[in-house]
Chains A and B, each alone.
Chain A
């Protein structure tokens, strides 16, 4: 077999391993769906009454407006799970064992990211299912659904590779909390819950320019409106850029001496 087939085979083995972890502790998956659903209920309850003047237009219900943000938060939560499982592998020493074996380098990291993709997309699908039950009325056709799934997957890759790098870099699980907090808080200062043009000053500037805003706007456009070309481009550029940065960082960390 060639190096490439070994690389694919080892990555598949590692993906099976990580998926087994998910299936063994399904509570992780339940929490990954329950937390975004609770947030969804909370925001519908709190802001739903104020929906007039949110810029989304009176014909759009607040759940339609807020769901893309909830999807992004589901992805953010998923990346924190990935970060912690990479960190556990790293601190428990199993990554040390893998590195003494004649296997495709970094296949263990590929396995984590592939698993994150599956796990997070399943959570997102479940959250959307619940949202439809709560009154979410997407207008997307099959092509737009597919595009929305693609953008979501790109965001998963971006946050997962960053999470993998942070998981490798942190010496303890406590060391990962900074990243997790940032990723989970960023959606709150974005276009997730209210349009940034209703914010003021520096908060508005931040919300307009942070990476989650174009992703949320793109998903919103695809699912319940008309996507804006420039916004889609910005979303894809952010995701690809962050994914690449995370991947390269993780690669450097993985290649350095063990325990350094």
Chain B
């Protein structure tokens, strides 16, 4: 796997306070990587360093094979950025914003118009193309922002909390766009504080807390890495429930719902063994479901805090 982005020993302090404290990351080309963490964890700072607008205090970052400190121009030519610190020109129309980006990418006039029209259609902005962006809703602005990023056809895209503040429909649309981009071979570096978003989109997730990566892996690996997983068995009647309880032992029984909860890592081997034991005991199971911890549980287990709790805003004053 070739790497689109690597970071080694990345450090950054603002006003004597360490915001990033030795970050190591590797993002494979053509994958979606999500940086998950609460406000103030340092997510935006990492994106700002990787997109060349903030200088690191220490460590090495390579994006698209180029060192961000030594060759920022080459990095900029390969990336697109949409998110908290990216923006649209609210005094221009949607179409003018896109044409401005086309001009800055040195696309020809005809090619620029063609791409702008295509993106306006794709992002459901064609009707509002001649209205100034100041009149756009938050969702429309975010879509325009992403369209402006895409007009240069970047191979690596940074999305800094791309769906924060969006309504569910816009959020779904953003997710769909991200999947299509990855299908087209684009590398996505996504930051989010929404666990379901990381779960939905990312192949790999790094959990960031107080400037440190506290865990990294696929969503499934992260969920399996912490206790709390169990298999829930639902029975048609009390007879089956009794038989199963005798056979398994150590399970917690819920008479009102006729269910047993059995601690398990939820893996296929463990579940098959469990079902075999129930078959031997002739306990008829009506329904089996595997409950792995969700990322909320993961986050809590790793940091000792729920994700909803926010630390003082030090990510950046805006």
* Interface set of A (CB-CB < 8 Å, partner B): 1, 6, 9-10, 13, 16-17, 20-21, 24-25, 92-94, 96-103, 171, 257-260
Contacts and interface: CB of A to CB of B under 8 A. Distances in A.
A101 B76 contact: yes
Interface stretch (B99-107, B250-258, B287-295): B99-107
A259 B88 contact: no
Contact of A17 (B48, B79, B92, B317): B92
Given A13-B100, A96-B86, A101-B104, A258 B92 contact: no
A96 B92 contact: no
Given A94-B87, A96-B86, A97-B87, A102 B92 contact: no
Given A13-B103, A92-B90, A97 B148 contact: yes
Nearest to A1: B106
Contacts of B79: 100
Given A96-B85, A101-B152, 15 more contacts: A1-B106, A10-B104, A13-B104, A17-B89, A17-B92, A21-B92, A24-B91, A98-B104, A100-B53, A100-B76, A100-B86, A257-B53, A257-B54, A259-B48, A259-B54
Given A9-B106, A101-B152, A259-B85, A96 B53 contact: yes
A92 B104 contact: no
Contacts of A21: 91-92
A93 B85 contact: yes
Interface residues of B, number: 33
A20 B148 CA distance: 18
A259 B104 contact: no
A102 B76 contact: yes
B97 to A, nearest CB: 9
A7 B12 CA distance: 31
A24 B89 contact: no
Nearest to A257: B54
Contacts of B87: 92-94, 96-97
Given A93-B85, A99-B52, A102-B77, A20 B92 contact: yes
A259 B316 contact: yes
B177 interface: no
Contacts of A13: 100, 103-104
B21 interface: no
A99 B52 CA distance: 8
Given A257-B55, A258-B54, A94 B88 contact: yes
Contact of A20 (B14, B53, B73, B96): B96
B86 A93 contact: yes
A17 B100 contact: yes
Contacts of A101: 76, 104-105, 152
